[in-house]
Amino acid sequence: MVTSISADRIDELVTSSIKQLCYKDRHLLKHDLNECSINHRLACHLQNHFPDWDVDCEYNKNADKIKELDLPKDKVDWNDTEAKSVFPDVIVHKRGGEGPNLLVIEVKKSTNKLDRKYDYNKLKAYGDTLKYSCALFLEIGTKGRWGTWDLDWIKRNDFEV
């Protein structure tokens, strides 16, 4: 059986999920809570929009292997606790390494002033190496900017299985 989902439809579902996050979880955004807490709630809203998919945060394996990307080793602290890992913030995929990889998202709060270049490099590598159909950088508004967001699609392909 062939199933397909257009890149435009994926964009619609992601946007709807973000709107729900901003409405239902505004406390997290208004009070600038931890990015991981925000990512978890985003994943919950995404799961409602992608019911036939697995939606995970900080997923670190591809089947039984640790996910690895071809990133400059001298620029990455592999023991970093500041969320500069090679684990994606949120993914929509099929668990077990045998299914397709639909969407990978890197999230930054608007109050996080770290350089976004590393996140963009990770997204490009996830698209190229782990064959995600869509890769998205999301800046989510927090504190005085809560309720706003910016989407930057790094990769946006129609998906067909």
* Contact indicator for 126, 60 with CB cutoff of 8 Å: no
Check residue 81 and give its pLDDT.
Answer: 43
Check residue 51 and give its pLDDT.
Answer: 96
- Topology of domain 4-160, per CATH? Trna Endonuclease; Chain: A, domain 1 (3.40.1350)
The Cα 160–Cα 18 span in angstroms is 24
pTM: 0.85
Q: Which of 144, 139, 145, 146 is nearest to 24 (CA)?
A: 146
Taking only the tens place, the pLDDT of each residue in 51-86 is: 999 999 988 755 455 545 555 554 545 444 444 456
Mean pLDDT over the full length of the chain: 86
74 backbone dihedrals φ, ψ, rounded to 5°:
-70, -15
Q: Is 147 left (phi over 0), alpha (psi -120 to 50) or beta?
A: left
Q: How far is CA 131 from CA 62, 104, 127, in A?
A: 11, 10, 5
Cα radius of gyration rounded to whole Å, the chain: 15
Check residue 64 and give its pLDDT.
Answer: 53
Taking only the tens place, the pLDDT of each residue in 90-132 is: 999 998 876 789 999 999 999 999 999 989 999 998 888 888 9
% of the chain with per-residue pLDDT over 90: 66
* Contact indicator for 159, 100 with CB cutoff of 8 Å: yes
The Cα 5–Cα 17 span in angstroms is 16
Q: Report the first-to-last Cα separation within the chain, whole angstroms.
A: 8
